[in-house]
Amino acid sequence: VSAPIVFSGSPLDRLDQRRKDAAWITAQLGDESTRVLPVWRLSVLVRSGGTPSLAWATSSLLESVGAGTPPVFLGVVDQVAHFALDISSTAEPIKELEWEGVAEFPDLRAIAGQLPAGEAAIAAQARHLVDWHARHGHCPGCGSRTEARDGGYVRLCSECGAEHFPRTDPVVIMLATDGDRCLLGRQPNWPKPFFSALAGFVEPGESLEEAVRREVMEEAGIRVGAVRYLASQPWPFPASLMLGCVAEALDTQIVVDGAELEEAVWFTREQVVSAFESATQDLAVPPPVAIAHQLMRAWALEDARP
């Protein structure tokens, strides 16, 4: 896949050894050059007007919003530490923190493709971690409170001492191909003629290749042979890692399951290439921000094969 994958390519060095040092983290939070990305109800703060870019606060924000979830360390670039801070307990942050006309909390999915290179990756890291902390306040082993450690990459149980780590859920997303045609599907809630690559969660005890074969069979009734991994994409809605593949279809008779997919169709290379320019009567494809688009592009224009 030749195009950059949105939500990857962060410029930050995560410093996974340094961030274990609580004194070092505290020192960074006391440094006035440190940058803090506010996250409110899973949206990151973005500058208003013009081309979107992340809007950073200083660590004095921690005093403005009061003690809540500790900030999550994102990494360092040019010796400046970057953190994310969940300010969801603030009812109306734009008004209360006087950011009106300066910054806003848009839907990350809608603006990710417009953010400067690398910034969507920072937003993904922030959203993924903040969401994980918000939902893992108690130990799944004993039910006691957990506390953030290591800059926010571990939660430690206060009672049984178990360590819990942020989870990432692998999802296979694949373009099954039959020579000059590829298989695309439409979920019941997608408007016609929008189609995308088939996708599904990898299950426990399953290889990536097995997950591809199972999903294509379940959703479209097509047997799959060779599977080739092409590229991956962090997808923080809330915690996925999309594993993009091309796969060789061994038969062509489509049988949709009717639940996950309402319709699946073989599209020719020409149809897919036309839809990159603009939606046709038969086909609208996902925008470049989605790895599904990049898989289609790699297959249709760069001859990526299983």
Which positions touch Zn ion (CB under 5 A)?
139, 141-142, 144, 157, 159-160, 162
Cα separation of 147 and 70, whole Å? 9
CB of 137 to Zn ion, least distance (A): 12
Q: Which is nearer to Zn ion, 119 or 150 (CB)?
A: 150
Cβ nearer to Zn ion, comparing 160 with 301: 160
Q: Is 160 or 259 the residue whose CB approaches Zn ion more closely?
A: 160
Least Å distance between CB 160 and Zn ion? 3
In whole angstroms, what is the distance from residue 45 CA to residue 115 CA? 12
* Residue 276 exposed, middle or buried by CB count within 10 Å (0-12, 13-18, 19+): middle
Residue number with CB closer to Zn ion (155 or 297): 155
Which CB sits closer to Zn ion, 89 or 144?
144
- Minimum CB–partner distance for residue 248 and Zn ion (Å): 46
Residue 3 or 142: the one with the smaller Cβ distance to Zn ion is 142
CB of 31 or CB of 163, closer to Zn ion:
163
